[in-house]
Amino acid sequence: MTTETLDPEELTDEYMNDGFEYAASERDLEQQDAYERLLDTTEIGPKGFRENPIMVACMDERARPADGRPVIGIAGSGVLMSDAQRRVALDKMEAAGIDLRDLIVTDHENCGACELYCQDHPEVTPDEAAEESAVRLAAMSDTVKPIESIGWSEQADLSARGHEGSHHARVIYIDFTGRFNPVAAELPDGFLISAAYSPDNGYLQTEVKIAQEIAIGGHGRGPDYFKENGPLVLAVIAEDAAAAAAALGESVGHRAEVTRTLFIKPNLR
């Protein structure tokens, strides 16, 4: 599947579930203090950008390394990209100073983006699609690092944050710096869309819409949660807010009834 065949406008019925009840977990999934702090944030200091990421992970907020290292967030580690789009994304990473030979590509189970891919590719399962996507991206990068599984299987080399069954994100980070790390910045867990490496604006806007649908749907907290407990925050991390807004187009208004967009300036020094 490429972004040209995927219409996020058609995802609503699949992902919405008014009877949703969020699963309990020992982890503090509300992260209320951090969430409220984010609502008042206009600038993020250098510690949120200190380390250049060398790991590609899904934009899924649960698929994160246990040690809190930064990641490049791409839906399904590129499952919705064509090879041409993967090439552009990798070239942008290399231009940003990332050594592609050391790139770590991950996959994970129960990936929503891979489920979408399989709507047009029923010959593979979502988990097979996740693995194949990671293999393809790794091959195109010429990395010498093995693919790592991140998620919830006994064989996973990394530990997912949060609860494995449902999305707990109250935030979607849209990062135009390419190195933003919410963990280092002490901000809430969230979907991470590394806009700096998006192959084109159309693809970027598709990811932004998909993340919103998942967060407010039956695999996330549901729309009533955000109406009652505060908006789903679209945190746009960009030095040039006007350019970022132009790239995002109407995607940030996709679910305006339950979202709030914040443009946050990065302090990279």
At 220-250, the pLDDT tens digits run 999 999 999 999 999 999 999 999 999 999 9
Task: Give the confidence band of 182 by pLDDT, cuts at 50, 70, 90.
Answer: very high
Q: How many Å apart are CA 169 and CA 233, to the nearest integer?
A: 9
pLDDT for position 202: 97
pLDDT for position 184: 96
At residue 38, φ and ψ (nearest 5 deg) are -60, -40
- Contact indicator for 190, 64 with CB cutoff of 8 Å: no
Q: Which residues, at least 6 apart from 228, have a Cβ–Cβ distance to it below 8 Å? A: none
Q: How many Å apart are CA 58 and CA 24, to the nearest integer?
A: 23
Q: How many Å apart are CA 53 and CA 183, to the nearest integer?
A: 13
Nearest to residue 235, comparing CAs of 176, 171, 188, 191?
Answer: 171
pLDDT for position 66: 86
Can you give the length of the chain in residues? 269
Q: Quick one: average pLDDT of 175-192?
A: 97
Nearest to residue 221, comparing CAs of 35, 10, 1, 41?
Answer: 35
In this structure, is residue 15 part of a structural domain?
no
Task: Give the confidence band of 166 by pLDDT, cuts at 50, 70, 90.
Answer: confident
Q: Residue 73 pLDDT more than 90?
A: yes
In this structure, is residue 63 part of a structural domain?
yes
Q: Residue 165 pLDDT more than 80?
A: no
In this structure, is residue 10 part of a structural domain?
no
Q: How many Å apart are CA 18 and CA 3, to the nearest integer?
A: 28
Q: Residue 140 pLDDT more than 60?
A: yes
Q: State pLDDT tens for residues 18-60.
A: 444 444 456 788 999 999 999 999 999 999 999 999 999 999 9
Q: What is the DSSP letter of 254?
A: T
At residue 223, φ and ψ (nearest 5 deg) are -65, -35
Task: Give the confidence band of 160 by pLDDT, cuts at 50, 70, 90.
Answer: confident
Question: How many domains would you assign to the chain?
Answer: 1
- Domain enclosing residue 140, as ranges: 31-266
In this structure, is residue 20 part of a structural domain?
no
In this structure, is residue 233 part of a structural domain?
yes
Q: State pLDDT tens for residues 6-22.
A: 565 555 444 444 444 44
Q: How many Å apart are CA 260 and CA 251, to the nearest integer?
A: 12
Q: Residue 90 pLDDT more than 90?
A: yes
Q: Which residues, at least 6 apart from 248, have a Cβ–Cβ distance to it below 8 Å? A: 174, 195, 201, 204, 205, 208, 236
Q: How many Å apart are CA 123 and CA 218, to the nearest integer?
A: 25
* pLDDT mean across residues, the chain: 89
Q: How many Å apart are CA 209 and CA 197, to the nearest integer?
A: 17
pLDDT for position 230: 96
- Write out the two tokens for 12: 């609503």
Q: How many Å apart are CA 261 and CA 219, to the nearest integer?
A: 22
In this structure, is residue 24 part of a structural domain?
no
Helix/strand/coil (H, E, C) string of 140-202? HHCCCCCCEEEECCCCCCEECCCCCCCCCCCEEEEECCCCCCCCCCCCCCCEEECHHHCCCHH
In this structure, is residue 127 part of a structural domain?
yes
Lowest mean pLDDT among 103-112, 236-245, 255-264: 103-112
